């Protein structure tokens, strides 16, 4: 076994453990060896030490015990490490020599590398004689990024290996439950008559991952979920579900039937792609209670990336068996659990005999779980116990974790051994792969052509709301979707409950619980649970599942063990999706009473969402209440009040006041009701929108091309129309936008786009209570106090002083300059000027030459002429025109290319890497001069912040540039500026965060 990519993540996490399992099962040849191939300069001992440290702890013996020293030693004897670089042909000669003349009868070469190396590796394997008929080649996905690249790789590989030597792996096909699906379908007469459109309503295939992109950001951003998961795993699973019975179990008989399904997939027309597909990108959230960052904050991800981490697609098969049956495909990262499953939903019976409508119960479902455990469950309805003739859901469960003493091979182990034994049936044939790309590729093209951006979704959720809407348009829902509704008790909501309970919702997919409860037995007149049963769980809502807070084991006569009830409710705690609150005349909501000793704990937003016990001072009974963190974490929060007295209390709360006096006041529930708020960064090319769902928490980030809209208002309306229905229903009351323009008075005429508007007229037209318009650099200045430390890279200097001025510069299309000045009241004032247009001062003879070159072209040389994207291009041009040393290379280059060549990221065809690097260093020195001038002028002891598109792109090269040396080159004031910290901003949306901060001030002032 020869593992290319032997030091990589796949080899260490999956392949080595799978080979160990085969070793301890006696499946490997006694003389079989494992050659791990990597580019790291390691000896075999070093590689084994790496495996001992990172891989062995995750492995287990068949008994479940950790791998013993003896078992590991016997396996490690098989392993040899070889350093081989695919770009160095001579190293393959060493590999061939290491394999030896007497190598095993079968050699499996597993290419667990990036696809870009496949062709070079195959070419060199053939050159050294490692492509003979006894050699099998295993190719990992993704095999290309589109149909053309897939065909190019396959054709190149086919020059050196025959098709029957090539094993294109999809590890899902090796899973036990997938094999069992074929056994259930084709080994039993039970399901085949039902496996068709007449009996099956829809099929859902989900592969969900809790992990993000981890350290694979550079790779993943060029691939995305559609290429990474849909083109291979999901479509292969669809084929297994939908294929016709093969004539035999031979490898080509099965693959022929899968190919027929791929050819029968209905192409999705361009105009239907927005309706039948959903792209998502995870944002900041929590997984298993632990906060995680959003995709755009991950290492190696550009801040404007539109790569999808989530995909949902409605696919259809155009044949007699499946016509009209939707196949819903879904995959995503940072979802609530690691899960892969196939759900086959059957139609309801044609005539209902039982008292309750069948729509109130889950339909028959066959659930094939692929991971984390492997099982098959059949859900159906049985009679309820007792005299009444009713129905209840029941389940037949086939669990593959219990094998009756027979060892269960994992997917990779099974497939590796199939490759060793020459079995191609569970591998993907070339024509299958081409058909899959043929179906997927138009979706990618449609997304790009229609400029469909990914929709944001919170990490830890099941994806964007549009994913649910994809199914709800067909009156369907994802298998796991159970909406959690938390309601208040008391007499006030009775009329609301009466209206709610008759709505034609899928109540069987709704769980209902309580926001708060009194510590009384369930039958007590003051019990909120009793109120819910009598007034909400009636009519259509009777099918909902109710989870009370007071349970019978914790009731002892008339007393209730409150602590036990709280512990049960919190283990595990289910975060409500929708909360309907009431409010008392004293401003309390839930059971967060102003006079309760636990109020401080209940309104502490830093605590985890949960229930807590409460002792009201005046109200009767002890209480159980959700804390403020849980209430405000709901996807939608509603406050139901009636009467002028309560409206007056709420209005008072919304204007502010002591939190302990009015728990519903601003900064808590009332504050949450002010969200979502719209923020937008209006550039010359695109408009970036987002919703602030909670303080400084952005979601639903979208980018619209300005050229597609006649006015800013039209673009804003288009974005608002694209929001999920629940947000559109609630409405957006507050908005703030940043524009690359001076903002003087009510009338705005943009300089980088033919848009003009009145701020007040647009506010009224869009129905906003608050509408703030700021210069984009003033908005960025507002963000400075809110940027987390891990999004700021300090370049020299000491600590920032909190109450001192802060300076801001940003080089991109132009040179933006702003400042943030402290006030005696502890606030800040953002001031944006036109500092980019100050005169540029050359500091030495060489800079004077470049300055004269610019002056001959422009007359006046402002700082922006040289410290911007066009300035970097001008510096590069001036070096070639004025200095003999820099004559090599083209006369002109784009700023992006100059930067890429300087950083070694772009091939240097003209051999002018040195000139590009010198141009970047000169640019950084110029920026140091202007930054220092601004810092001295303002006394910026709070720090100098650098944003824009150019400097953050430079990474470590900026810290190593002449910037800091030039910044401190201030003669008598060198020591003064040397203490000033400089920060490079690496936040993905600092302007939007600044707009949120500016809007906070505007809303508080009632503007």
- Average of per-residue pLDDT across 8-30: 92
Spatial separation of the C-alpha atoms in residues 634 and 599, rounded to whole Å: 20
Is the pLDDT higher at 603 or at 922? 922
If asked whether residues 111 and 32 sit together in one domain, one would say: yes
Structure tokens belonging to residue 242: 């939908």
If asked whether residues 355 and 303 sit together in one domain, one would say: yes
Domains identified in the chain, total number: 5
In a domain, 419, yes or no: no
In a domain, 793, yes or no: no
| Among 500-514, 580-594, 735-749, the range of highest mean pLDDT | 735-749
pLDDT given for residue 873 in this prediction: 95
Structure tokens belonging to residue 972: 């008598």
Q: What is the DSSP string of 235-265?
A: HHHHHHHHPPPPSSSSHHHHHHHHHHHHHHB
Query: Of the given ranges (43-47, 384-388, 789-793, 888-892), which has the lowest mean pLDDT?
Result: 384-388
pLDDT given for residue 354 in this prediction: 66
Residue 561 lies in domain: 483-672
Q: Label residue 648 by pLDDT band (50, 70, 90).
A: confident
458 pLDDT higher than 80: yes
In a domain, 792, yes or no: no
3-state secondary structure (DSSP) of residue 286: strand
Spatial separation of the C-alpha atoms in residues 971 and 800, rounded to whole Å: 22
Please give the share of the chain, as a percent, with pLDDT higher than 70: 92
663 pLDDT higher than 70: no
Return the residue matching tokens 């039993």.
Answer: 188
In a domain, 285, yes or no: yes
In a domain, 735, yes or no: yes
pTM over 0.75: no
Spatial separation of the C-alpha atoms in residues 724 and 731, rounded to whole Å: 11
Q: Label residue 828 by pLDDT band (50, 70, 90).
A: confident
pLDDT given for residue 666 in this prediction: 35
758 pLDDT higher than 50: yes
3-state secondary structure (DSSP) of residue 810: strand
pLDDT given for residue 475 in this prediction: 73
Spatial separation of the C-alpha atoms in residues 471 and 455, rounded to whole Å: 16
pLDDT given for residue 572 in this prediction: 61
In a domain, 799, yes or no: no
If asked whether residues 567 and 679 sit together in one domain, one would say: no
User: What is the average pLDDT value for the chain, to the nearest integer?
Assistant: 87
Query: Of the given ranges (421-435, 666-680, 991-1005), which has the lowest mean pLDDT?
Result: 666-680
543 pLDDT higher than 60: yes
15 pLDDT higher than 70: yes
- Count Cβ atoms within 10 A of the Cβ of residue 733 and give its class: 0-12 exposed, 13-18 middle, 19 or more buried: middle
Structure tokens belonging to residue 758: 């009145």
Closest CA to 16 of 427, 403, 410: 410
Report pLDDT digits (tens) over 948-1001: 889 998 988 899 999 999 999 999 999 999 999 999 998 888 999 999 988 877
If asked whether residues 333 and 384 sit together in one domain, one would say: yes
For residues 12, 16, 20, 22, the Cα torsion angle rounded to the nearest 10 degrees is: 140
Please give the share of the chain, as a percent, with pLDDT higher than 90: 49
Report pLDDT digits (tens) over 339-370: 999 999 998 887 767 655 444 456 789 999 88
pLDDT given for residue 654 in this prediction: 57
If asked whether residues 580 and 682 sit together in one domain, one would say: no
Chosen domain end from 623, 638, 672: 672
Residue 501's H or E segment, with its range, is none
What are the Cα distances from residue 692, in Å, to 115, 672, 675, 829, 1004? 40, 11, 7, 22, 16
Give the pairing type, strands 166-168 and 34-38. Answer: unpaired
If asked whether residues 92 and 156 sit together in one domain, one would say: yes
Is the pLDDT higher at 159 or at 62? 159
If asked whether residues 461 and 509 sit together in one domain, one would say: no
Contact by Cβ (8 Å): 684, 774: no
Residues 6+ apart with CB under 8 A from 582: 488, 490, 492, 493, 589, 639, 640, 641
pLDDT given for residue 667 in this prediction: 42
In a domain, 361, yes or no: yes
pLDDT given for residue 657 in this prediction: 42
- Average of per-residue pLDDT across 611-638: 85
- Average of per-residue pLDDT across 270-280: 90
Query: Of the given ranges (22-36, 441-455, 977-991), which has the lowest mean pLDDT?
Result: 441-455
How many alpha carbons lie under 13 Å from residue 525 in its C-beta half-sphere? 1
Spatial separation of the C-alpha atoms in residues 457 and 465, rounded to whole Å: 8
pLDDT given for residue 137 in this prediction: 96
If asked whether residues 280 and 403 sit together in one domain, one would say: yes
If asked whether residues 30 and 109 sit together in one domain, one would say: yes
Contact by Cβ (8 Å): 682, 740: yes
Spatial separation of the C-alpha atoms in residues 115 and 111, rounded to whole Å: 9
In a domain, 241, yes or no: no
- Average of per-residue pLDDT across 754-779: 92
Please report, for the domain that includes residue 728, its CATH number: 3.30.420.40
| Among 96-110, 328-342, 645-659, the range of highest mean pLDDT | 328-342
3-state secondary structure (DSSP) of residue 905: coil
Q: Label residue 728 by pLDDT band (50, 70, 90).
A: low
Bridge partner residues of 831 (DSSP): 819
pLDDT given for residue 750 in this prediction: 87
If asked whether residues 533 and 468 sit together in one domain, one would say: no
Structure tokens belonging to residue 353: 């005999």
User: What does the DSSP 8-state code read for residue 617?
Assistant: S
Please report, for the domain that includes residue 975, its CATH number: 3.40.367.20
If asked whether residues 613 and 710 sit together in one domain, one would say: no
Q: Label residue 309 by pLDDT band (50, 70, 90).
A: very high
Closest CA to 513 of 566, 576, 570: 576
Chosen domain end from 637, 672, 707: 672
What are the Cα distances from residue 473, in Å, to 116, 323, 653? 41, 18, 40
Residues 6+ apart with CB under 8 A from 857: 874
pLDDT given for residue 797 in this prediction: 94
Structure tokens belonging to residue 556: 């002892």
If asked whether residues 570 and 661 sit together in one domain, one would say: yes
Please report, for the domain that includes residue 185, its CATH number: 3.30.360.10
832 pLDDT higher than 80: yes
Please report, for the domain that includes residue 7, its CATH number: 3.40.50.720
Q: Label residue 1003 by pLDDT band (50, 70, 90).
A: low
Structure tokens belonging to residue 512: 């209902």
Is the pLDDT higher at 84 or at 590? 84
923 pLDDT higher than 60: yes
Spatial separation of the C-alpha atoms in residues 601 and 195, rounded to whole Å: 55
Report pLDDT digits (tens) over 191-247: 888 999 999 999 999 999 999 988 788 888 989 999 999 999 999 999 999 999 999
What are the Cα distances from residue 896, in Å, to 21, 219, 297, 683, 948? 49, 20, 22, 18, 14
pLDDT given for residue 659 in this prediction: 38
Chosen domain end from 672, 699, 722: 672
pLDDT given for residue 358 in this prediction: 44
Give the pairing type, strands 375-383 and 391-399. Answer: antiparallel
3-state secondary structure (DSSP) of residue 707: helix
Spatial separation of the C-alpha atoms in residues 539 and 740, rounded to whole Å: 56
pLDDT given for residue 661 in this prediction: 47
Spatial separation of the C-alpha atoms in residues 91 and 83, rounded to whole Å: 8
């Amino acid at each position: 076994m020869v593992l290319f990519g032997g030091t990589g993540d796949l080899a260490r996490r999956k392949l080595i453990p799978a080979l160990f399992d085969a070793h301890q099962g006696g499946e490997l040849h006694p003389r079989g060896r494992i050659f791990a191939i990597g580019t790291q300069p390691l000896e075999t001992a070093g590689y084994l030490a790496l495996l001992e440290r990172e891989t062995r702890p995750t492995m287990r013996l068949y008994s479940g015990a950790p791998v013993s020293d003896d078992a590991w030693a016997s396996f490690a004897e098989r392993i040899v490490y070889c350093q081989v670089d695919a770009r160095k042909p001579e190293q393959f000669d060493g590999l061939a020599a290491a394999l030896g003349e007497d190598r095993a009868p079968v050699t499996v070469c597993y290419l667990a590398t990036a696809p870009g190396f496949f062709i070079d590796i195959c070419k060199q394997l053939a050159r050294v004689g490692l492509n003979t008929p006894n050699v099998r080649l295993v190719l990992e996905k993704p095999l290309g990024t589109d149909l053309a690249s897939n065909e190019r790789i396959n054709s190149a590989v086919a020059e050196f290996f025959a098709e029957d030597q090539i094993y294109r792996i999809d590890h899902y096909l090796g899973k036990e439950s997938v094999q069992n699906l074929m056994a259930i379908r084709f080994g039993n007469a039970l399901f085949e008559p039902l496996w068709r459109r007449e009996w099956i309503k829809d099929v859902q295939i989900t592969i969900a991952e809790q992990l993000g992109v981890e350290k694979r950001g550079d790779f993943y951003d060029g691939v995305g979920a559609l290429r990474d998961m849909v083109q291979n795993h999901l479509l292969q699973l669809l084929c297994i579900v939908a294929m016709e019975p093969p004539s035999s179990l031979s490898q080509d008989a099965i693959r022929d039937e899968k190919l027929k399904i791929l050819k029968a997939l209905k192409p999705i027309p361009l105009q239907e792609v927005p309706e039948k597909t959903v792209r998502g990108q995870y944002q900041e959230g929590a997984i298993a209670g632990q906060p995680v960052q959003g995709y755009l904050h991950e290492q190696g991800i550009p801040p404007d990336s539109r790569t999808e981490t989530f995909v949902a697609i409605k696919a259809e098969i155009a044949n007699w068996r499946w016509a009209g049956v939707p196949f819903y495909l879904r995959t995503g990262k940072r979802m609530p659990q690691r899960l892969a499953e196939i759900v086959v939903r059957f139609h309801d019976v044609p005539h209902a005999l039982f008292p309750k409508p069948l729509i109130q119960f889950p339909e028959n479902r066959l659930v094939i779980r692929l991971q984390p455990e492997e099982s098959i469950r059949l859900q159906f309805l049985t009679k309820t116990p007792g005299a009444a003739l009713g129905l209840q859901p029941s389940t037949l469960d086939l669990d593959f974790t219990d094998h009756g003493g027979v060892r269960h091979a994992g997917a990779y182990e099974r497939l590796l051994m199939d490759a060793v034994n020459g079995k191609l049936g569970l591998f993907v044939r070339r024509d299958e792969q081409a058909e899959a790309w043929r179906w997927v590729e138009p979706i990618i093209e449609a997304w790009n052509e229609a400029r469909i951006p990914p929709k944001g979704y919170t990490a830890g959720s099941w994806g964007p709301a549009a994913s649910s809407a994809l199914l709800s348009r067909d009156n369907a829902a994802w298998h796991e979707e159970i909406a959690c509704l938390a309601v208040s008790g008391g007499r006030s909501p009775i009329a609301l409950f009466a209206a709610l309970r008759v709505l034609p919702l899928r109540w069987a997919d709704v769980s209902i619980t309580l926001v708060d409860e009194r510590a009384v037995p369930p039958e007590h007149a003051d019990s909120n649970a009793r109120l819910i049963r009598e007034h909400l769980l009636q009519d259509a809502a009777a099918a909902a599942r109710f989870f009370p807070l007071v349970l019978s084991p914790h009731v002892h006569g008339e007393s209730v063990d409150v602590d036990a009830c709280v512990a049960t409710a919190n283990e595990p705690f289910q975060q409500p999706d929708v909360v309907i609150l009431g409010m008392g005349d004293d401003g309390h909501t839930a059971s967060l009473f102003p006079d309760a000793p636990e109020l401080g704990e209940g309104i502490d937003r830093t605590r985890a969402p949960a229930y807590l016990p409460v002792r009201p001072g005046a109200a009767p009974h002890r209480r159980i209440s959700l804390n403020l963190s849980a209430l405000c974490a709901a996807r939608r929060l509603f406050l139901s009040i009636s009467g002028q007295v309560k409206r007056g209390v709420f209005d008072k709360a919304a204007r502010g006041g002591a939190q302990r006096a009015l728990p519903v006041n601003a900064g808590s529930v009332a504050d949450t009701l002010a969200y979502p708020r719209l923020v937008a960064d209006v550039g010359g090319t695109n408009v970036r929108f987002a919703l602030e769902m909670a303080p400084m928490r952005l979601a639903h980030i979208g980018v619209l091309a300005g050229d597609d809209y006649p006015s800013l208002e039209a673009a804003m309306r288009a974005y608002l129309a694209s929001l999920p229905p629940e947000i559109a229903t609630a409405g957006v009351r507050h908005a703030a936008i940043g524009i690359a323009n001076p903002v003087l008075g009510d009338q705005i005429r943009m300089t980088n786009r033919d848009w003009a508007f009145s701020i007040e007229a647009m506010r009224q037209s869009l129905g906003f209570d608050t509408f703030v318009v700021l210069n984009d650099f003033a908005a960025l200045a507002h963000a400075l106090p809110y940027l987390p430390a891990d999004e700021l890279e300090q370049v020299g200097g000491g600590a920032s002083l909190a109450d001192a001025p802060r300076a801001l510069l940003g080089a991109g299309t132009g040179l933006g300059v702003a400042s943030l000045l402290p006030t005696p009241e502890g606030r800040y004032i953002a001031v944006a000027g036109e500092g980019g247009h100050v005169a540029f001062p050359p500091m030495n003879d060489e800079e004077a030459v470049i300055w004269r070159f610019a002056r001959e072209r422009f007359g006046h040389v402002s700082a922006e002429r040289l410290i911007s994207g066009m300035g970097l291009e001008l510096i590069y041009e001036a070096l070639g025109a004025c200095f003999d040393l820099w004559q090599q290379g083209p006369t002109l280059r784009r700023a992006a290319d100059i930067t890429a060549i300087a950083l070694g990221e772009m091939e240097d065809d003209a051999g002018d890497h040195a000139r590009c690097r010198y141009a970047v260093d000169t640019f950084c020195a110029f920026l140091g001069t202007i930054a220092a001038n601004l810092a001295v002028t303002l006394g910026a002891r709070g720090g100098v912040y650098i944003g824009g598109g150019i400097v953050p792109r430079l990474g470590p090269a900026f810290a190593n540039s002449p910037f800091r040396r030039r910044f401190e080159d201030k003669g008598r004031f060198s020591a003064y500026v040397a203490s000033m910290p400089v920060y490079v901003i690496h936040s993905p949306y600092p302007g939007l965060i600044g707009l949120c901060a500016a809007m906070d001030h505007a809303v508080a002032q009632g503007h």
